[in-house]
């Protein structure tokens, strides 16, 4: 096995002390720019690799940040991760990505693994099945590791979060359907143990109330975020008497299933039935019948979550920072909810 280059080898090559080499490699301000550059160039030529574990033990920082999401194959979470990395990488941090696949045990394992890896912080969107007082999440706080929730969150003391205003989003999407003449509006909601779906549902109800429309409990279905779930929901809704004439879905994928089922039944969208989705998935704007949707601003959300983490980790006053950042939702009103007048 080839012998690894050490700082002593570099020092001998340059006829300087090992301490000077170490300071140059760690950007010590006492080292001149000329010396620092010479050391770095020599280290590169000699294929020197810094021992990151030893570095982290000395500095108390690993320069690694854990990111936990339900799924990495989601456009929303992929964009959020991109925003996080774009914000953290220039600051010298590396991102370790974990996914829970909506499994609480897997989520707990991810957190434990990241803590054992001595990450400097955890940015997290909780899984569907998380308990309200998860002791594993509490352990992050107890260890004084900065924790920032984004999108899906729990209300926990000492924990910052970055979300969009889901209540306002639900309200405005429903209001758009009402303005298009819809009188019997249904809602496809998500898991009601998650605050984001509760808030969207509350916004939906408030928009109906403010416009003197009755909430029909039969028009509200809890569904998964997939096309088949949307198809099944609209199949049941159309069997009601009277059936709805519009729908606000908390998922673009379910909204797509709704539209596919309506079109197969010969029901015209939006002339006879209006549809509004949530998430602004890429397919919503590229279909022949474009789908109205709420933009969750995942890139901005990721960047903001990273900024909140950096503010916490760089806090020199030893004061606990807790921020609740709420982004303004943006509506993209397209063909699926726009009736020609």
Q: pLDDT digit string (tens) for 225-284?
A: 999 999 999 999 999 999 999 999 999 999 999 999 999 999 999 999 999 999 999 999
Does one domain contain both 286 and 181? Answer: yes
Q: Quick one: pLDDT at residue 6? A: 85
Q: Quick one: pLDDT at residue 57? A: 46
Determine the structural domain holding residue 257 and report its residue range: 166-296+331-337
Q: Quick one: pLDDT at residue 308? A: 95
Averaged pLDDT for residues 324-334: 96
The set of residues, in sequence order, having a beta carbon less than 8 Å from that of 309 and lying 6+ positions away, is 65, 88, 121, 123, 146, 148
- Across the beta sheet with 292-295, the strand order is 220-222, 185-189, 246-249, 274-278, 292-295, 330-332
Domain for residue 43, yes or no? yes
> Could you tell me the CATH number of the domain that includes residue 234?
3.40.50.2300
Q: pLDDT digit string (tens) for 132-143?
A: 557 888 889 889
Q: pLDDT digit string (tens) for 157-167?
A: 889 999 999 99
Percent helix, strand, coil in the chain (nearest 5)? 45, 15, 40
Domain for residue 73, yes or no? yes
Domain for residue 1, yes or no? no
Domain for residue 122, yes or no? yes
Averaged pLDDT for residues 330-335: 97
Does one domain contain both 37 and 66? Answer: no
Does one domain contain both 275 and 308? Answer: no
Q: Quick one: pLDDT at residue 297? A: 94
Does one domain contain both 111 and 156? Answer: yes
Q: pLDDT digit string (tens) for 72-83?
A: 999 999 999 999
- Number of domains forming the structure of the chain: 3
Averaged pLDDT for residues 102-129: 91
Cα distance between residue 124 and residue 108, in whole Å: 12
> Could you tell me the CATH number of the domain that includes residue 20?
1.10.260.40
Does one domain contain both 77 and 179? Answer: no
Domain for residue 206, yes or no? yes
**Alpha-helix runs per DSSP H in the chain:** 7-14, 18-25, 33-45, 52-59, 75-88, 104-116, 135-142, 166-179, 195-210, 227-237, 252-264, 283-286, 298-313
pLDDT at 53 over 60: no
pLDDT at 330 over 50: yes
Q: Quick one: pLDDT at residue 317? A: 65
Averaged pLDDT for residues 43-48: 85
Categorize the per-residue pLDDT at 43 as very low, low, confident or very high, splitting at 50, 70 and 90: confident
Q: Which residue, among 216, 335, 323, has the nearest Cα to 274 in the 3D structure?
A: 335
User: Which token pair is 14?
Assistant: 């340059």
Q: Quick one: pLDDT at residue 324? A: 93
Does one domain contain both 307 and 209? Answer: no
The rounded percent of the chain whose pLDDT value lies above 90 is 68
- The average confidence (pLDDT) of the chain is 90
Does one domain contain both 140 and 262? Answer: no
Q: pLDDT digit string (tens) for 173-224?
A: 999 999 999 999 999 999 888 999 999 999 999 999 999 999 999 999 999 9
Q: Quick one: pLDDT at residue 1? A: 41
pLDDT at 91 over 50: yes
The rounded percent of the chain whose pLDDT value lies above 70 is 92
Categorize the per-residue pLDDT at 55 as very low, low, confident or very high, splitting at 50, 70 and 90: low
Domain for residue 247, yes or no? yes
Task: Let me know: does 321 contact 277? Beta carbons within 8 Å.
Answer: no
pTM: 0.81
Of 312 and 22, the structure prediction assigns the larger pLDDT to 312
Does one domain contain both 196 and 285? Answer: yes
Residue 130 three-state SS? coil
pLDDT at 319 over 70: no
Cα distance between residue 36 and residue 27, in whole Å: 7
325 exposed, middle or buried (CB, 10 Å; 0-12, 13-18, 19+)? Answer: middle
Q: Could you give the angle at the alpha carbon of 202 between the alpha carbons of 197 and 205, nearest 5°?
A: 130
Does one domain contain both 178 and 121? Answer: no
Domain for residue 277, yes or no? yes
pLDDT at 118 over 70: yes
User: Which token pair is 91?
Assistant: 């600051």
The secondary structure of 80-123 as a DSSP string is HHHHHHHHHGGGT-EEEEEE-TT-HHHHHHHHHHHHHTT-SEEE
Domain for residue 2, yes or no? no
């Amino acid at each position: 096995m080839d012998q690894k280059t050490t700082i002593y080898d570099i020092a001998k090559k340059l006829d300087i002390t090992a301490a000077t080499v170490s300071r140059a490699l760690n950007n010590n301000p006492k080292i001149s720019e000329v010396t620092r550059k010479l050391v770095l160039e020599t280290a590169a030529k000699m294929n020197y690799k810094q021992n990151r574990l030893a570095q982290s033990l000395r500095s108390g920082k690993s320069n690694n940040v854990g990111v936990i999401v339900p799924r990495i194959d989601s456009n929303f979470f992929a964009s959020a991760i991109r925003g996080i990395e774009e914000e953290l990488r220039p600051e010298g941090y590396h991102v370790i990505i974990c996914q829970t696949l909506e499994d609480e045990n897997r989520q707990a394992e991810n957190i434990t693994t990241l803590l054992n890896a001595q990450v400097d912080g955890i940015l997290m969107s909780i899984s569907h099945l998380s308990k309200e007082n998860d002791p594993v999440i509490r352990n992050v706080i107890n260890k004084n590791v900065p924790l920032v929730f984004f999108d899906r969150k729990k209300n926990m003391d000492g924990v910052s979060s970055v979300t969009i205003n889901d209540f306002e989003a639900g309200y405005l999407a429903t209001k758009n359907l009402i303005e298009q003449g819809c009188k019997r509006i249904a809602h496809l909601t998500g898991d009601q143990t998650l605050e984001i779906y509760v808030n969207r549902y509350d916004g939906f109800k408030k928009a109906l109330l403010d416009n003197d429309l009755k909430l029909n409990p039969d028009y509200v279905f809890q569904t998964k975020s997939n096309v088949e779930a949307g198809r099944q929901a609209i199949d049941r809704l159309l069997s009601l008497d009277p059936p709805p004439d519009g729908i606000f879905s908390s998922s673009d994928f379910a909204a797509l299933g709704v539209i596919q089922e309506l079109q197969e039944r010969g029901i015209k969208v939006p002339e006879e039935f209006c549809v509004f989705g949530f998430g602004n998935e890429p397919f919503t704007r590229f279909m022949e019948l474009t789908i109205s949707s709420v933009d969750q601003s995942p890139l901005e959300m990721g960047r903001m979550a990273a900024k909140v983490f950096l503010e916490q980790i760089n806090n020199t006053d030893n004061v606990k920072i807790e921020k609740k950042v709420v982004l303004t939702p943006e509506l993209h009103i397209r063909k699926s909810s726009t009736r020609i007048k």
